Chains A and B, each alone.
Chain A
Amino acid sequence: MQIEDLKALAEKHKSSRKKITMRACMSAGCMSSRADVIKKNLETAVKEQGLEVAVEVRRVGCMGFCGQGPLIGVDGLSAKEKLFEFVKPDDASAIVGSLKGGKCDVQVGNPDHPFFAKQFKIVRANGGIIDPERIDDYIAIGGYTALHQVLTEMQPAQVVDEVTKSGLRGRGGAGFPTGLKWGTVAKSPGAKKYIICNGDEGDPGAFMDRSVLESDPHLVLEGMAIAAYAVGADQGFLYVRAEYPLAISRLQTAIKQAKQLGLLGSGIFETPFNFNVDIRIGAGAFVCGEETALMASVEGKRGTPRPRPPFPAASGLFGCPTLINNVETFANITAIINRGGEWYAGIGTEKSKGTKVFALTGKISNNGLIEVPMGIPLRQIIMEMGGGAPDGRQVKSVQTGGPSGGCIPAAYLDTPVDYESLGKLGSIMGSGGMVVMDDTTNMVEIAKFYMEFCKDESCGKCIPCRAGTAQMENLLNKIIARQATARDLAKLEELCDMVKNTSLCGLGQTAPNPVLSTLKYFRSEYEELLQPDKFGPRANPTETVTK
Chain B
Amino acid sequence: MKNADADTYMSAILTIAEKPTAKPAADLKHGSGDKRFKILEVHMKKHQFKQDALIEVLHKAQELFGYLEDDVLLFVAHHLKLPPSRVYGVATFYHFFTLKPQGEHTCVVCLGTACYVKGADKVVAAVEQLTKIKPGETTPDNKVSLLTARCIGACGIAPAVTYDGQVAAKQTPEATVARVKSWMGI
A438-469, CB < 8 A from B: 441, 446, 449-450, 453, 456-457, 459
Q: Can you list, as one digit per residue, whether each of A36-74 has a CB less than 8 Å from chain B (1) or not (0)?
A: 000000000000000000000000000000110100000
30 contacts between A and B (CB under 8 A): A29-B157, A31-B167, A32-B167, A69-B156, A69-B157, A204-B111, A204-B112, A204-B116, A205-B114, A206-B155, A207-B154, A210-B153, A243-B151, A280-B55, A281-B55, A283-B55, A283-B94, A283-B95, A284-B95, A297-B55, A300-B90, A301-B54, A361-B113, A361-B114, A361-B155, A367-B155, A402-B113, A435-B117, A441-B117, A459-B93
Rounded to whole angstroms, the CA-CA distance of A399 and B56 in the bound complex is 34
B106-136, CB < 8 A from A: 111-114, 116-118
> A284, B94: Cβ atoms under 8 Å?
yes
Say how far A526's CB is from chain B's closest CB, in angstroms.
19
Rounded to whole angstroms, the CA-CA distance of A424 and B106 in the bound complex is 44
A242 contacts partner chain B, Cβ-Cβ < 8 Å? yes
Say how far A30's CB is from chain B's closest CB, in angstroms.
8
Say how far A457's CB is from chain B's closest CB, in angstroms.
7
Rounded to whole angstroms, the CA-CA distance of A104 and B3 in the bound complex is 56
| Minimal Cβ-Cβ distance residue in B for A286 | B150
B16 contacts partner chain A, Cβ-Cβ < 8 Å? no
A409 contacts partner chain B, Cβ-Cβ < 8 Å? no
Say how far B179's CB is from chain A's closest CB, in angstroms.
14
| Minimal Cβ-Cβ distance residue in A for B162 | A32
Q: Which one of B54, B89, B151 lies within 8 Å of A205 (CB-CB)?
A: B151
> A303, B93: Cβ atoms under 8 Å?
yes
A291 contacts partner chain B, Cβ-Cβ < 8 Å? no
Query: Given that A284-B95, A284-B96, A437-B117 are known contacts, is A205 also in contact with B52, CB under 8 Å in the complex?
Result: no
B141-157, CB < 8 A from A: 149-157
> A242, B96: Cβ atoms under 8 Å?
yes
Rounded to whole angstroms, the CA-CA distance of A357 and B116 in the bound complex is 22
Closest 6 CB pairs of A and B: A66-B156, A204-B112, A283-B94, A300-B54, A361-B114, A204-B151
> B157, A32: Cβ atoms under 8 Å?
yes
> A201, B93: Cβ atoms under 8 Å?
no
> A362, B113: Cβ atoms under 8 Å?
yes
Interfacial chain A residues near B55, Cβ < 8 Å: 280-283, 297, 300
Q: Which one of B94, B113, B160, B168 lies within 8 Å of A285 (CB-CB)?
A: B94
B169 contacts partner chain A, Cβ-Cβ < 8 Å? yes
B166 contacts partner chain A, Cβ-Cβ < 8 Å? yes
A433 contacts partner chain B, Cβ-Cβ < 8 Å? yes
A194-211, CB < 8 A from B: 201-207, 210
Q: Can you list, as one digit per residue, whether each of B40-61 has a CB less than 8 Å from chain A (1) or not (0)?
A: 0000000000011111101100
Query: Given that A32-B168, A283-B94 are known contacts, is A202 also in contact with B151, CB under 8 Å in the complex?
Result: yes
Q: Can you list, as one digit per residue, whether each of A459-486 has a CB less than 8 Å from chain B (1) or not (0)?
A: 1000000000000000000000000000
Say how far B132's CB is from chain A's closest CB, in angstroms.
23
Query: Given that A283-B94, A449-B113 are known contacts, is A33 also in contact with B58, CB under 8 Å in the complex?
Result: no
Output the residue of A203, A206, A303, A361 with the most chain B CB within 10 A: A361
Q: Can you list, as one digit per residue, whether each of B158-186 has a CB less than 8 Å from chain A (1) or not (0)?
A: 10100000111100000000000000000
B67 contacts partner chain A, Cβ-Cβ < 8 Å? no
> A363, B118: Cβ atoms under 8 Å?
yes
Interfacial chain A residues near B151, Cβ < 8 Å: 202-207, 243
Say how far B7's CB is from chain A's closest CB, in angstroms.
32
Say how far A127's CB is from chain B's closest CB, in angstroms.
13
B50-80, CB < 8 A from A: 51-56, 58-59
A298 contacts partner chain B, Cβ-Cβ < 8 Å? yes
| Minimal Cβ-Cβ distance residue in B for A283 | B94
Q: Which one of A33, A243, A285, A435 lies within 8 Å of B114 (CB-CB)?
A: A435
Interfacial chain A residues near B51, Cβ < 8 Å: 300
B9 contacts partner chain A, Cβ-Cβ < 8 Å? no
Interface residues on chain B, number (Cβ under 8 Å)? 38
> B153, A361: Cβ atoms under 8 Å?
no
Say how far B110's CB is from chain A's closest CB, in angstroms.
8
Output the residue of A201, A205, A300, A399 with the most chain B CB within 10 A: A300
Say how far B75's CB is from chain A's closest CB, in angstroms.
16
Interfacial chain A residues near B111, Cβ < 8 Å: 204
> B157, A33: Cβ atoms under 8 Å?
yes
> A302, B154: Cβ atoms under 8 Å?
no
| Minimal Cβ-Cβ distance residue in A for B91 | A283
> B114, A362: Cβ atoms under 8 Å?
yes
Interfacial chain B residues near A236, Cβ < 8 Å: none
- Since A67-B157, A205-B112 are in contact, a sample of 4 more A-B pairs with Cβ atoms closer than 8 Å, ordered by chain A residue number, is A202-B150, A282-B94, A283-B94, A300-B53
Q: Can you list, as one digit per residue, whether each of A288-303 has a CB less than 8 Å from chain B (1) or not (0)?
A: 0000000001111111
A369 contacts partner chain B, Cβ-Cβ < 8 Å? yes
Say how far A61's CB is from chain B's closest CB, in angstroms.
13
| Minimal Cβ-Cβ distance residue in A for B114 | A361
Rounded to whole angstroms, the CA-CA distance of A216 and B150 in the bound complex is 25
> B94, A303: Cβ atoms under 8 Å?
yes
Q: Which one of B53, B54, B113, B156 lies within 8 Å of A399 (CB-CB)?
A: B113
> A300, B52: Cβ atoms under 8 Å?
yes
Interfacial chain A residues near B152, Cβ < 8 Å: 28, 243
Say how far A10's CB is from chain B's closest CB, in angstroms.
32
| Minimal Cβ-Cβ distance residue in B for A65 | B156
Q: Which one of B95, B150, B168 lies within 8 Å of A204 (CB-CB)?
A: B150
Rounded to whole angstroms, the CA-CA distance of A363 and B151 in the bound complex is 16
Interfacial chain A residues near B113, Cβ < 8 Å: 204-205, 361-362, 399, 402, 433, 435, 449-450
Rounded to whole angstroms, the CA-CA distance of A299 and B89 in the bound complex is 14
Interfacial chain A residues near B168, Cβ < 8 Å: 32
A359 contacts partner chain B, Cβ-Cβ < 8 Å? yes
> A243, B153: Cβ atoms under 8 Å?
yes
Interfacial chain A residues near B54, Cβ < 8 Å: 300-301
| Minimal Cβ-Cβ distance residue in A for B94 | A283
Output the residue of B54, B56, B113, B152 with the most chain A CB within 10 A: B113
> B150, A453: Cβ atoms under 8 Å?
yes
> B52, A298: Cβ atoms under 8 Å?
yes
A388 contacts partner chain B, Cβ-Cβ < 8 Å? no
Q: Can you list, as one digit per residue, whether each of A225-253 has a CB less than 8 Å from chain B (1) or not (0)?
A: 00000000000000001111000000000
Rounded to whole angstroms, the CA-CA distance of A243 and B52 in the bound complex is 21
A368 contacts partner chain B, Cβ-Cβ < 8 Å? yes
Say how far A512's CB is from chain B's closest CB, in angstroms.
17
Interfacial chain A residues near B155, Cβ < 8 Å: 66, 205-207, 359, 361, 367, 433, 435
Q: Which one of B118, B150, B158, B169 lies within 8 Å of A33 (CB-CB)?
A: B169
